[in-house]
Structure 1
Amino acid sequence: MTAESSRTAALRERVRALMSRAKRDPAELVLTRSVADPRQFPPEECARTADFLVRAFTGAGLRGMRRVTTREGTDSVVGHAPGPEGAPTVLVSAAPWGARVEVEPGGVGRPFRARTDGPVYRALAATFREAPGTDMVRSGQGGPIPLCDGPAERFPDAEVALTGAEEPGCPTHAPDESVDPSEIERMAAAEALLLSTYATPLRT
């Protein structure tokens, strides 16, 4: 067994060990009658959901997790995670119900074609070949979500890739949409291996 395959095996086992929690936490969350709006659901259920998120994010390593009541009477869950040494501080605001939101109309989605000739794509193909155990295939699709064209236009030298759990039988955005848990496990292992690849320089 090579060093690379040993790392893949370790990542796969780590992901597999976390899969029970990945199934248990959402199952517990959806049993709560709450969409974080006490005007629609019992306030105690909203508080239960918020407390669940505090525990879950604390268990995931975030610090200072707590439930804060907003001026609108809803509960927000806040906390923080330290960034790498020397990283800039970025403030991100998430508004609850009743918040004032400004929207500027944007353009329509444009076609996007991913680059497949760079080092990141080669690393992606290699990790997906090793972790899930199958080779990647190429396919084209019309009507893309306008998500990749903006970054590709703003950073033309960058490689843009979207990954996720979406096996052919999941009928995305259709009745009875679902995801095979084994697909989540395989994708998590592949993405973990890909991210760990960035710990070493990529050859161009």
Structure 2
Amino acid sequence: MSFCKNCGNKTSELDKFCSSCGSAKGVNSITSRDNNINAINSEIKNNNIHIGDTYTYSNKIDPSTLNLTRSFIKPFWSKNKILAKRTTFVSLGSIGSIASIFSLYLSFPSNNAITQITTTIFTVFFIMMFSIGFYIKRSRFQHLIGLVNLETSKKDDIYLTRITCDCPWCDSKMKLRMIGPKENKKHQLLCQRNPSQHRILFDPTALSDIDDN
């Protein structure tokens, strides 16, 4: 039989913790070093611990309270804001990809660097167009560049859009961006006032469908 050094309660020799106060027998401190924390034979490694008003990646926000707003970017050639038909992306992308790859193959015997670089650029462009047209049929929402996204309507028309909403914590504006590690980028709504902490993982299904009428 032994006694707890903290409260004097009787404890067994086999007990590692006091049943009265919870103190660890023989352990008087918690140590930290090199971004690690040792606590009673347990260790937390390579983690940053923040205690405070951090709202990052909150998934408890009701989308209806955010005032999600979709604004359209009108292409200069379009009268009704439509960028193109999705089928046009697929058709033009597939035909252009085949033609560009064939042209690239023919350009190698000539060793013309400018022709090869130009043809390579067109090949990449048409392959991307085909991929977007094929993928967006299922997702209906895809990031393009910067603050600009591609969305499809019920009639399979593709639009250029920007997404904004109200920050639920500071009443500032939030803008949709694609950020994160290269292999794991995600759509995130970032607050203009406090982008490091006020951010929300974006779910495209929270948006209403685009009505062509």
Q: How does the TM-score come out when normalised to structure 1?
A: 0.23
Instruction: Flag the structure with higher helix content.
Output: 1
Instruction: Flag the structure with higher strand content.
Output: 2
Larger radius of gyration: 2
Q: How does the TM-score come out when normalised to structure 2?
A: 0.22
